[in-house]
Structure 1
Amino acid sequence: MITKLNLQDKIWYGLTMTDAAARQIKKLVTSDPRMFGLRLSINHSGCAGFSYILDLITEPNKSDLVYEHLGAKLFVPLQVMPLIDGTRIDYIKIGLNYEFKFYNPKAQHACGCGESFSI
């Protein structure tokens, strides 16, 4: 018997943000009063299969899950949760630049440049 997975019934571990990530999200959002938060999603791309996408949003989708830390809001489409559940998001300095870094326990492989991952 095949059962259909109901994403609404799943208990998620969720996502966490470091203080640095939350501060940067708040900084991005407060630069434009129309912004509501950031949406984290994934896209099929890169040499490993998936890449993370961060977008400023003016309105959340009804199916988005909301994660909040220090007043920063991160919206995640329900359908991507199976691929990123348990991820910790940080904002770190690499060389002369700063970037969001994703620590995804479900990611099995990453490409050499670090731009994509596979499950």
Structure 2
Amino acid sequence: MTTQADIFEPADYRWRGLTMTPAAAAHICELVAKQPGLLGIRLRVKQSGCAGFGYVLEQVSAPEPGDLLFEQQGARLWVPLKAMPLIDGTEVDYVRDGLNQVFKFHNPNAQNACGCGESFGV
């Protein structure tokens, strides 16, 4: 039997939110400037990898119902409400290492990560 105490409703919580480094915000703004109709990026979480969850970035031309918007330095980052328990407090960074360029996620909720860095567990 399910009681009210057993039900988790993400909308009932106060979230710390997500932040972007200046490099991540600048890169998102560059992407938006290059593509007409693009509003920003959505960060989803999916069950994946050996540690449990993976990050998924998508281009946003229209927000989805239930998306939360985090805006910084003109860059817009949408997150589905149901992902917040896993990534609340995350800082999104954009780093260049030699020829490689990639978004990095500094997630305070991640208790472990797989060896290749593609997934995390909470």
Q: Same fold (TM over 0.5)?
A: yes
TM-score by length of 1: 0.95
Aligned pair 1:95/2:81, yes or no?
no
TM-score by length of 2: 0.93
Which string of whole-angstrom CA distances, capped at 9 and with x for unpartnered residues, describes residues 62-85 of structure 1? 210000011000000000000000
Report the number of matched residues: 119
| Gapped regions of structure 1 (runs ≥ 5) | none
Equivalent in the alignment of 1:113 = 116
**SS of structure 2 residue aligned to 1:67:** strand
Cα RMSD after superposing both structures: 1.1
Equivalent in the alignment of 1:21 = 24
> Structure 1 counterpart of 2:95, which letter?
I
> Structure 2 CA distance, aligned partners of 1:8 and 1:58?
24
Choose the corresponding residue for 1:71, options 71, 74, 78: 74
Aligned pair 1:55/2:58, yes or no?
yes
| Gapped regions of structure 2 (runs ≥ 5) | none
> Structure 1 counterpart of 2:83, which letter?
V
Identity %: 52
**SS of structure 2 residue aligned to 1:82:** helix
Equivalent in the alignment of 2:87 = 84
